[in-house]
């Protein structure tokens, strides 16, 4: 583990800021306009950062740039850090008597599960403002990016209080218009996939489900792959194929009948956890979050 002194040996902050703006805009020119400097200055700062780190951060092409793998690793860390600084500065400039609690979750979980239930939080906690932080990058709770987070995994979150919520399960779902009845009919369908952020052998994937269902030799008509789980859900609702999806995230669509689970089995997924700093576990804001989430999950 790095010492606190080693951790503070940061690259030049002006270079970090220039890189973050250029990475977000994927344009040196637009980054320059945002920071009120010249594109040449942005290019100079980025090259200084690349020299300091010893790796290229951008692939430079005519009229456009793209992030290298190193740039993709660095960008979300800086984005989260600058967002946290901006949020802290805003709170200091505009102090409020009202409490604000920030809950972080993945983009899909925020859109599919949290947003439809915000009104219930407001009714139960009229004196607390809820801020939802949607990001597929785990929020740094110790840095103040968020007060709490919904994490999906094994529960190993060092330095944080992790409260088990429930275990997810995955199953094939599709529009009822497809009129599927048996797993063997998947050979006539398009299978909808989404890419898992971390590649693990026990991720709920189509190959695993097909083997479990005893139809591992089936070859679908086509495959449709999304990088975002929400887009896979939308494609399934639109009747573009059959998706292996979290039954928790599509529970509302199944209740409305816009999606159906045509057959079993289901695959066991990971568990959902509510995590927060240990020193904040008795705060009224965290208590309000806990009660709201557990009530909505039927755990109280």
Question: What local confidence, expressed as pLDDT, does residue 228 receive?
Answer: 86
pLDDT digits (tens, 9 = 90+) for 48-81: 999 999 999 999 887 789 999 999 999 999 999 8
Question: If we measure between CA atoms, which residue out of 39, 47, 55 comes closest to residue 15?
Answer: 47
Residue 40 has pLDDT above 80, yes or no: yes
CA 246 remoteness from chain centre: 14
Same domain, 141 and 233: no
- Counting the structural domains of the chain, the total is 3
Same domain, 61 and 123: no
Domain final residue, candidates 43, 78, 113: 78
Q: At what angle do helices 28-35 and 13-25 cross, to 10 degrees?
A: 120
Judged by phi (left if over 0) then psi (alpha if -120 to 50, else beta), residue 54 lies in: left
Question: What local confidence, expressed as pLDDT, does residue 96 receive?
Answer: 59
H helices within the chain, ranges in order? 4-7, 13-25, 28-35, 39-53, 69-93, 107-109, 118-124, 206-212, 229-237, 251-256, 284-296
Statement: the pTM of the whole predicted model exceeds 0.75: no
Q: How far apart are CA 132 and CA 109, in angstroms?
A: 11
Question: Which DSSP category does 114 fall into?
Answer: I
Do residues 16 and 50 lie in contact, with contact meaning Cβ atoms separated by under 8 Å?
A: no
Question: What local confidence, expressed as pLDDT, does residue 94 receive?
Answer: 67
At 242, which CATH number? 3.40.190.10
Q: Report residue 85 as tokens.
A: 């600084």
Q: Report residue 190 as tokens.
A: 């398009």
Residue 1 has pLDDT above 60, yes or no: no
Same domain, 250 and 112: no
Question: What local confidence, expressed as pLDDT, does residue 85 receive?
Answer: 87
Question: What local confidence, expressed as pLDDT, does residue 7 receive?
Answer: 57
pLDDT digits (tens, 9 = 90+) for 219-267: 999 999 998 899 999 999 999 999 999 999 999 999 999 999 999 999 9
Question: What local confidence, expressed as pLDDT, does residue 87 receive?
Answer: 82
Q: How far apart are CA 51 and CA 2, in angstroms?
A: 22
Q: At what angle do helices 28-35 and 39-53 cross, to 10 degrees?
A: 110
Residue 5 has pLDDT above 70, yes or no: no
Question: What local confidence, expressed as pLDDT, does residue 8 receive?
Answer: 66
Same domain, 231 and 160: no
Q: How far apart are CA 195 and CA 199, in angstroms?
A: 9
Residue 90 has pLDDT above 70, yes or no: yes
Average pLDDT for the chain? 90
Question: Which DSSP category does 177 fall into?
Answer: G
Same domain, 126 and 241: no
Residue 121: domain span: 79-167+271-296
Domain final residue, candidates 78, 105, 130: 78
Q: How far apart are CA 276 and CA 267, in angstroms?
A: 28
pLDDT digits (tens, 9 = 90+) for 94-129: 665 678 899 999 988 999 999 999 999 999 999 999
pLDDT digits (tens, 9 = 90+) for 140-190: 998 889 999 999 888 888 889 999 999 999 999 999 999 999 999 999 999
Question: What local confidence, expressed as pLDDT, does residue 97 receive?
Answer: 60
Same domain, 58 and 200: no
Same domain, 39 and 97: no
Same domain, 203 and 143: no
CA 235 remoteness from chain centre: 19
């Amino acid at each position: 583990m790095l010492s606190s002194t080693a951790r503070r040996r940061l690259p030049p902050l002006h270079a970090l800021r220039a890189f973050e703006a250029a990475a977000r805009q994927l344009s040196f020119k637009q980054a320059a306009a945002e920071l009120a400097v010249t594109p040449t200055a942005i290019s100079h700062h980025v090259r200084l950062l690349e020299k300091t780190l010893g790796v290229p951060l951008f692939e430079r092409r005519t009229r456009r740039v793209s992030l290298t793998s190193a740039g993709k690793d660095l960008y979300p860390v800086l984005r989260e850090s600058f967002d946290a600084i901006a949020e802290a500065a805003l709170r200091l400039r505009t102090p409020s008597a009202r409490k604000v609690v920030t809950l972080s979750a993945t983009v899909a979980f925020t859109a599919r599960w949290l947003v439809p239930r915000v009104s219930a939080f407001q009714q139960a906690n009229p004196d607390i403002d809820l801020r939802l932080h949607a990001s597929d990058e785990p929020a740094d709770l110790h840095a103040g990016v968020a007060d709490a987070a919904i994490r999906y995994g094994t529960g190993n979150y060092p330095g944080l209080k992790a409260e088990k919520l429930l275990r997810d399960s995955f199953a094939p779902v599709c529009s009822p218009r497809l009129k599927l009845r048996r797993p063997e009919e998947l050979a006539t369908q398009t299978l909808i996939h989404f890419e898992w952020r971390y590649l693990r052998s026990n991720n709920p994937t189509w190959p695993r489900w097909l083997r479990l269902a005893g139809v591992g030799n089936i070859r679908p008509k086509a495959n449709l792959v999304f990088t975002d789980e929400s887009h896979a859900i939308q494609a399934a609702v639109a009747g573009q194929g059959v998706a292996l999806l979290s039954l928790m995230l599509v529970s509302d669509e199944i209740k409305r009948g816009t999606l159906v689970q045509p057959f079993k089995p289901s695959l066991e997924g990971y568990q959902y956890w509510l995590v927060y700093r240990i020193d904040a576990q008795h705060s009224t804001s965290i208590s309000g979050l806990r009660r709201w989430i557990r009530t909505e999950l039927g755990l109280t």
